[in-house]
Structure formats: structure tokens, C-alpha cells
Amino acid sequence: MEKTDNMCVLIMAGGIGTRFWPKSTEEKPKQFISLLEERTMIQITVDRIKKILPIEKIFISTGKRYINLVKEQLPDLPDNNIIVEPIGRNTAPCILLSTLYIKEIYGDCNIAVLPSDHLIQNVEVFLETLKIANNFVTQTHKSIVTIGITPDRPETGYGYIKFNKEDKNKVVKVDRFVEKPNFEKAKEYLDSKEYLWNAGMFIFNAEYMLNELESNYKNTNKLFKNLPSIKAENYHEKLNEIYPKSDSISIDYAVMERSKNIYVIPSDFGWDDIGTWKSLERYIEKDQKNNICKGHIEMSNTTDCTIYAQDKKIILVDVEDLFVIDSDDAIVVCKKDSINKVKDFRTEK
């Protein structure tokens, strides 16, 4: 039976949420807002993990400006479980910092890294997958296990993982990671059944990850050797000095694409990264005229529209194929195919 006694979870919550503007802003990005349910994305993510781990073993990495949001939305999370990045520097320095931090508290544990804002529909299957990955890492020690999602469409918005489809084990060796493809290439990947979506979730032994970072991320790793204990009075002062000097690269490039011991679990538990306004339409119930309505909305002769009302009543008459989004900062009205252009109007820096 797979156990999680030796596992901690790191939830990455530092993103600034540009793709869901104007609902998501730099002051309150996607992970801290409600999109599909009443609870926010980060609350749903933590609720999911609390089914197998105590809150003391769940850590949140985020930026300084979001500390109060984390505390407000996760009131039972210990303050010491918030790992603060002085500035955003991509995922490799974040994971190096967080692994050092968690290892100082829990020793040579396993760490599962998860995004804060993804949809998972079958929670039980997901948690069982995490347990399988943790058990594999415990047994092998020198391995990193990522979770790959069996694709159901030729998606161009995700990276892919190539694996040996003939290997029927639960955990299989990764052949290679592949960048986001064009539509034709994505269709080839789907038809071949040799590729999985890269969901950005992985599990590793803390000591092994630090060794891999030392080998593959040398300059930044050397910098972090100067960090004192997290209990030291000058810890944050030293971190603020060191962190901006770190190399800003992803953990995929720093470790995952270079390490020799990367494995994947082919999975299907109703996953989506909910990366765009249009992706929400896959999961929200529509009316008889294919409209999605959130808030106080009145319509006449309206079809194929998605409307998010916040404080105002929104009235639509004789229109079709629109997004209408009301927020504190702006009201957006656009053709559905143009929704990705909306972020160009953001004024935040």
C-alpha cells in the first residue's frame, strides 16, 4: 500500500495571472480568484491535498505581494509554510529555494511540486497517482517522477512528454520533453499515442533534487550555498541579496530535460490547466442557446455567448458569439475568437 508519511507538497502560487484579465490582475491573480466554484483555485488545490496530508506538510511558494492573500484564503496554513520569493525568477530558483527550505524542516523527505490553479475532476485517482509516484521515488531514491496526462485533443497550448507506449508499468521512463507544437504536430502526437501532456507536476527526493541542481544549475546553486538557516535572523536579508542574482530559467530546462532519471506516470483524472477564458467553457453548464451566464444577466435572442457579471446587471439583445466580462478594473466585450487579444489592453506593470 502506497504511503505519504515521508512526503511534503509544494504548491507554486507566484504567477501574475495575465491570461484571465480583467478578472485576474497582478494584485489578485488567477490562483486567488473563483472561476469554476465558490472557493478560489488555491483553496481548491489545498483542499485536495489535505485529504492525504496534514496542513503542516503543505507549503506555498509565492511572491511578497501575495503573502496576505495566502494568509487570508488559507487561514489554517502555518505562517512558516509560506515560502516567499523576493522577486519572480522562474521555476528553477523557486524549487531550489523551496527544497532547501522544506529539507531544513523535514529532512530528506520527498517533495511533490504542484501548480496552484489547475482543474482536477477525479480527485481520488489523482491522489492515488501521487501516492504511486511517491512510493516509486522512495524505492528508487535517485529519480524524478512527473505526471503526464493522456491527451484527448490536439492541444497546442501544452508541452508534451514522449514515452514508450509499449511499457505497461505504472511508472515508465521519459524519452524526451517536447515544446508546445503547432496544430499539425499536436495531431500527430495525439494519433501516435506516444505523447502525454506535461502537467507541470512532479515528485522527487529532496537530496536527489539538490544534487541534480548542483550538477545542472551550477551558478545559482553556488549562490544559494551562502544562505543561512531559515531560523537565522539575517535569513531574509541574505535571501533578498542573493535571489535577484539567480539565473531565471525553468526547472524543465535546468533539470528535467537534462537528468537521466526522469520517469512519468501516464494518467487520466480530468486535468486541465484552465489557461484561457475559452478553456472554461469546457466545464461550465450552458443553457439551451449555448450561453454561459455567471451573475445577474438578462438576454433576448442571444446565442453562443459567455457572460461574467460582477456587480452590474448585464443585458444582451440580438447578439451572438461574444465574451462579456465585468470586473472592478474593466468591462470587456469581444468576439470569442478575439479573447486572447484582450490582455494587450492591460495597463499594469
In the prediction, which pLDDT does 23 show? 85
What does DSSP assign to residue 320? B
> Residue 128's pLDDT band (boundaries 50, 70, 90)?
very high
| Residue finishing a domain among 213, 248, 275 | 275
Q: Which residue has 523527505 as its cell numbers?
A: 109
pLDDT exceeds cutoff 50 at 293? yes
In the prediction, which pLDDT does 189 show? 96
Are residues 202 and 268 located together in one domain of the fold?
A: yes
In the prediction, which pLDDT does 2 show? 66
Range 254-266 average pLDDT: 95
Are residues 335 and 262 located together in one domain of the fold?
A: no
Domain span at residue 307 reads: 278-345
| Cell numbers found for residue 328 | 472592478
> Residue 4's pLDDT band (boundaries 50, 70, 90)?
confident
pLDDT exceeds cutoff 60 at 110? yes
Are residues 109 and 171 located together in one domain of the fold?
A: yes
Report the range of poorest mean pLDDT among 25-39, 99-113, 178-192.
25-39
Range 58-73 average pLDDT: 96
Average pLDDT of the chain is 93
Range 325-347 average pLDDT: 88
Q: Give the chain's length.
A: 349
In the prediction, which pLDDT does 348 show? 53
pLDDT exceeds cutoff 50 at 181? yes
Q: How many domains does the chain have?
A: 2
pLDDT exceeds cutoff 60 at 38? yes
β-pairing verdict for 262-267 and 195-205: unpaired
pLDDT exceeds cutoff 70 at 144? yes
H or E segment to which residue 163 belongs: strand 160-163
Range 113-119 average pLDDT: 95
In the prediction, which pLDDT does 274 show? 85
Q: Which residue has 501516492 as its cell numbers?
A: 131
Range 63-85 average pLDDT: 96
Are residues 223 and 152 located together in one domain of the fold?
A: yes
Are residues 337 and 246 located together in one domain of the fold?
A: no
| Cell numbers found for residue 132 | 504511486
pLDDT exceeds cutoff 50 at 349? no
Provide, rounded to the nearest whole percent, the portion of the chain with pLDDT above 70: 98
pLDDT exceeds cutoff 50 at 282? yes
pLDDT exceeds cutoff 90 at 245? yes
Range 316-344 average pLDDT: 91
Q: pTM here?
A: 0.92
β-pairing verdict for 110-115 and 7-12: parallel
Angle at 111 between CA 68 and CA 152, to 5 degrees: 90
Are residues 149 and 227 located together in one domain of the fold?
A: yes
In the prediction, which pLDDT does 311 show? 82
Are residues 151 and 20 located together in one domain of the fold?
A: yes
Are residues 257 and 314 located together in one domain of the fold?
A: no
For residue 53, the domain's CATH number is 3.90.550.10
Q: Which residue has 517522477 as its cell numbers?
A: 145
Are residues 150 and 184 located together in one domain of the fold?
A: yes
- Better pLDDT: 133 or 34: 133
pLDDT exceeds cutoff 80 at 19? no
> Residue 271's pLDDT band (boundaries 50, 70, 90)?
very high
In angstroms, rounded to a whole number, what is the distance separating the alpha carbons of residues 99 and 123? 25
| Residue finishing a domain among 275, 303, 333 | 275
Are residues 190 and 293 located together in one domain of the fold?
A: no
In the prediction, which pLDDT does 324 show? 95
Are residues 175 and 307 located together in one domain of the fold?
A: no
- Better pLDDT: 219 or 82: 82
Provide, rounded to the nearest whole percent, the portion of the chain with pLDDT above 90: 79
